[in-house]
Amino acid sequence: MSEPTYTASEMMIVVAAHMLKGARTVFVGVGLPNMACNLARSTVAPDLELIYESGVYGARPERLPLSIGDPTLVSGAICVVSMADLFGLYLQRGLVEVALLGGAQIDRYGNLNTTVIGDYRTPKTRLPGSGGACEISINAQRTFMIMRLKRRAFVDKLDFLTSPGHLSGGDSRARLGLPGGGPELVITDKALFNFDNPNREMQLSALYPGVTVNEVQAEVGWPLRLAETIEEADAPSAEELRLIREELDPHAMYR
């Protein structure tokens, strides 16, 4: 097949933006998620306000933020509060509609590991840890994962469960009384997954242009479940690519 006229990152950004259609609030990190949210606000979610765990609600960054604590997120924001208030009054209160998360490992139920590779006490690789991810995954109304599809990341068993997804599947999350709805989507660079089945198990729901089911299965560490109908995701529109390249990321930091 011919080379795509867009990068994998651009496709992830565009797919994520589509999924934010109509959303009012999103809890977001830097990099791709931040780009996706800004693209969504300029297209399908004009009322979307960005919430950062650093204490910012309604950011209007004049540049691409270098971190979730970037001062550009403060200047011109609607509201900047203590982290106690951000986590208590916004996240735990249930005001976060969508949270975008990622991790080093994800399992078939959307549970995430951002803590260690190997044993917790004697790790092979020490990862950053939870940050706000544990409480975000528990309290956000809906959670989207954004991760590159790699076999070492899509594992049969996590080395450490940092952030609860659908736990052991079915109603196991609800039985523990977790207030948020849990994982809804996994947005990768090759395909899109959802959890729309009674077992709340990750299933392939859409392939990106030119990607096959086998290519996807090859990167997933368990027998992949397929949705009843697998759609082909639309490629980025010219206008979406223009927004990303000319307005959101003119210096190509995230491509």
Partner 1 sequence: MKNPPKTDKLVSMQQAIATYVGDDCSVAIEGFTGFISFAAGHEILRQRRRNLTLIRMTPDLIYDQMIAAGAASKLVFSYMGNPGVGSLYCIRRAVEKSIPRPLDLEEYSHYGLVGRYAAGASRLPFFALRSYVGSDMLAANPLIKVIDDPYGTGKIAVVPPLNPDVAILHAQRADRQGNTHLWGLLGMQKEVAFASRHVIVAVEEVVDEAVIRADPNRTMIPGLIVDAVVHEPYGAHPSYVQGYYDRDNESYLAWDKLSQDPTAVEAWLDEWVYGLANRAAYVKKLGQTYFDKLKPEPLLAPSVDYGRYR
**Which parts of 153-212 interact with partner 1 (CB under 8 A)?**
160-164, 167, 173, 176-179
For the record, the structure tokens of 72 come out as 């550009």
- 80 vs 235 by CB, closer to partner 1: 80
| Residue of 48, 45, 63, 52 whose CA lies nearest to 27 | 52
What backbone torsions phi and psi does residue 142 show, to the nearest 5 degrees? -140, 145
The single-letter code of the amino acid at 198 is: P
Interacting residues with partner 1 between 23 and 42 (CB under 8 A): 24-25, 30
**Active-site hit among 10, 53, 184, 219:** 53
C-beta of 255: minimal distance to partner 1 in Å?
Answer: 17
- The answer to whether 66 contacts partner 1 (rule: CB under 8 A) is yes
Q: The dihedral of CA 213, 216, 221, 227: what is its sign?
A: negative
Contact present, 137 and 165 (Cβ < 8 Å): yes
Question: Restricting to residues 107-126, which ones interact with partner 1 according to CB under 8 A?
Answer: 115, 120, 123-126
Q: Which one of 92, 197, 199, 217 is in contact with partner 1 (CB under 8 A)?
A: 92
Query: Which among 128-136, 148-156, 188-196, 230-238 is the span making contact with partner 1, rule CB under 8 A?
Result: 128-136
Q: Which of 1, 2, 3, 47 binds partner 1 (CB under 8 A)?
A: 47
Distance between CA atoms of residues 241 and 13, nearest Å: 10
β-bridge mates for residue 183, sequence order = 143
Total residues in contact with partner 1, by rule CB under 8 A = 73
- Which one of 6, 16, 26, 97 is in contact with partner 1 (CB under 8 A)? 97
- Does 240 participate in catalysis according to the annotation? no
Rounded Cα distance between 80 and 66, Å, is: 18
Q: Which tokens go with 217?
A: 């299965």
Residue with tokens 């309604």: 58
Cβ 17 to partner 1, closest distance in Å?
Answer: 18
Q: Which of 57, 56, 9 is nearest to 31 (CA)?
A: 9
Which positions from 228 to 247 touch partner 1 by CB under 8 A, shown as an x/- string?
--------------------
The catalytic residue positions are 53
